Amino acid sequence: MINTERLTIRRVRAEDWKDLQFIWADAAKSEYAKYDKPSELDDATVKKRVAKWAEFAGSYEHRFYAVCLNGTVIGYAAFHIREEGFELGYCFRSDFHGQGYAYESISALIGHLKTKGVKRITAGTALANTPSVRLLERLGFIQTGTEEVSFYKDADGRPIVFEGGVYELKL
């Protein structure tokens, strides 16, 4: 468990499924949702997915962290091992955006990973998702490239493509 000035950060637990379901449903309403893979939101699917995340509680390769404010899960961060480091993903409830919680929690997690010998973290986001781009830059990530990404198809079955930024943080 990691404590910051305002937050408690811990590994995701199976009983967090309802909080994560709320976070994913909230994110699906965002103007930026089109830039991410859609999540199935029915109870059974969410319970199964979160239970799988919780199984990794002792894992080095896959790390799922719940970000809690006064005991309430307001977001999460995930780190997955990749060549020479980890890849970062995150999502926070919209009613907590713009208050520094993502920066505070992810900074603490990066510091924790650095103490474990991690030398490199990567992340990707749609370049049009300016809040996410600003967060990564504030955390010290450098854009190292771009890539065309598609998670959706239009009514005619053609991929809807957007430009994604590839980011890296060397520790």
d(Cα 144, Cα 168) in Å, to the nearest integer?
A: 7
Question: How many CB atoms neighbour CB 79 within 10 A?
Answer: 25
Q: Which CATH class, in words, describes the domain spanning 2-123?
A: alpha beta
**Per-residue pLDDT tens digits for 23-65:** 999 998 998 887 777 788 999 999 999 999 999 998 999 999 9
Q: What is the pLDDT of residue 36?
A: 79
Instruction: Kindly report, residue by residue over 84-97, the tens digit of the pLDDT.
Output: 899 999 999 999 99
In the predicted structure, residue 147 carries a pLDDT above the cut 90 = yes
Confidence of residue 160 (pLDDT cuts 50, 70, 90): confident
Query: Is residue 121 within 8 Å of residue 169, measured between CB atoms?
Result: yes
Whole-number Å distance between alpha carbons of 158 and 67: 37
pTM: 0.92
* pLDDT cut 70: percent of the chain above it: 100
Q: Work out the mean pLDDT of the chain and round it to a whole number.
A: 94
Does residue 133 surpass a pLDDT of 80? yes
Ramachandran sector of residue 44 (left: φ over 0; alpha: ψ -120 to 50; beta: rest): alpha
Nearest Cα neighbor of 151 from 18, 38, 28, 55 is 38
Residue-level pLDDT at 134: 97
CA 111/CA 117 separation, integer angstroms: 10
For residue 16 the two structure tokens come to 């967090």
Please tell me the distance from the alpha carbon of residue 25 to that of residue 78, in angstroms, as a whole number. 18
Among candidate residues 96, 80, 79, the one with its CA nearest the CA of residue 22? 96
Greatest pairwise CA separation for the chain in angstroms: 50
Q: How far apart are CA 67 and CA 105, in angstroms?
A: 7
User: What is residue 53's predicted lDDT score, i.e. its pLDDT?
Assistant: 96
